[in-house]
Structure 1
Amino acid sequence: MKAREGDNIRILVVEDTHDVADAVAARFGRRGDAVDIAGTRAEAEDLIAVQRYDVIILDINLPDGDGLDILDGRRKAADPTPILMLTARLKVDDRVTALDKGADDYLIKPFDLRELEARVRALARRSARDAATGSAIEYGDLALDRAGQTATLKGDALPLTRREFSLLETLIDNRGRVISKDRIFERMFSFDEAEVGLNAVEIYVGRLRRKLEGGNVAIKTLRGLGYQLVCDDT
């Protein structure tokens, strides 16, 4: 069961630097959260196989592999657990790759433990709210399954990346209403505006718009205001 707002949460920290892992565990432990630590990819996968977590904090560089492989495996298994990546990589392309593979957020090392705690708790709250709002939504020819992280158009599966699914989820949650680019960005990319840029929203809107062609649901652009998901059911 996912944590509710205000509840203690269970966290997996996948980090091979012992002092960093211990500091993170101590920070959350003081608040009463349960924290497991894995120093390798193999240890992490063993723990994930037997335990459900509310949030996973995942280092990219591990002694026996790449944390992105763990991330990729979780998303291919349709595991919606929020994952925050820790990285020493400064290139924007590396961070965008992590987001496209399904990361919910990331922090660049070195980081402030207070910021890490704030981001982890935000991810846990959002996950709890999403679970509480229900899984399936239908709008015209479009159907979205929040739990399965899938969508269909006229009954056919839509091939969506995780970022495209996040965009579609944001639009369908606000169907019929105009939603600003800033608000969409916050939902899709969390704390990453400075690194990724608002223009990323336009790119993803264009991709999603093309994938919705052939159905009676479309994305309208209202210049200066934002975007609107509309249904022509006539």
Structure 2
Amino acid sequence: MFVVIDDRQGVVNGYAAGFDREGIVSIGFSSTDFRDWLECAVSTDLGAIGAFILGDCPDRTSLPHSIRTKSPAPIIALNGMKRLNQTIELFEAGVDDVVHAPVHVREILARTAVIRRRTIGSGDRPATSEIRVFLDGRDPEIGGRTLPLPRRELRILEYFVGHQGRWLTKTQVFNSIYGVFDASFDENVIESHVSKLRKKLRGHLGYDPIESKRYMGYRLGDLRSRATGEPDPSTHS
């Protein structure tokens, strides 16, 4: 889920439509409403956020610090004017990237993927990768072969890889894929998506890499999985 913060409702609506076309859930806030929500947001809500998109608002140089106290998700600032002093000010405020607006949501996804690749799976990894996700809309490579996936199954796999080795509740997965404010679907829809995903992964790998346990949820096991772009430990002495 992407969070767009901008005091211009038309801008918020425009990016929401763009994310929707890419199969990405988003929610828009004015800066005041966002601060109110951030103050009371619970960890399951915050854990579902893929990135914060910081647009035009009077306090946007103070918002990154408030966000960082609650969430490690990437913060991408939209800058309508290419002014060096504004760009430097935003980076000094704590954003991860600054892009010139307007910008296509695919570019936002690509930039978010680059930021996330720096943080996902920073620990030791085996020599080869069995599951590779690209975090920018491309289909994953499973066992060395591309596996076409529906968008929601792809998002679930990306979420599992990003939290590899951790148990994820059905609520956490649901919030990540459908957003924390969507009441039009029941959480149980996740069971269907994960079941289909496991069957496809099993067909490519010869075994099921996803564990499930009652009351605990799902976990992508300690496999050779990584987001593309990370260095292979075997190439370093």
Given the two structures, how large is their TM-score scaled by the length of structure 1? 0.49
Higher RCO structure, 1 or 2 (CA under 8 Å, sep 6+): 2
Higher strand share: 1
For normalisation by structure 2, the TM-score amounts to 0.48
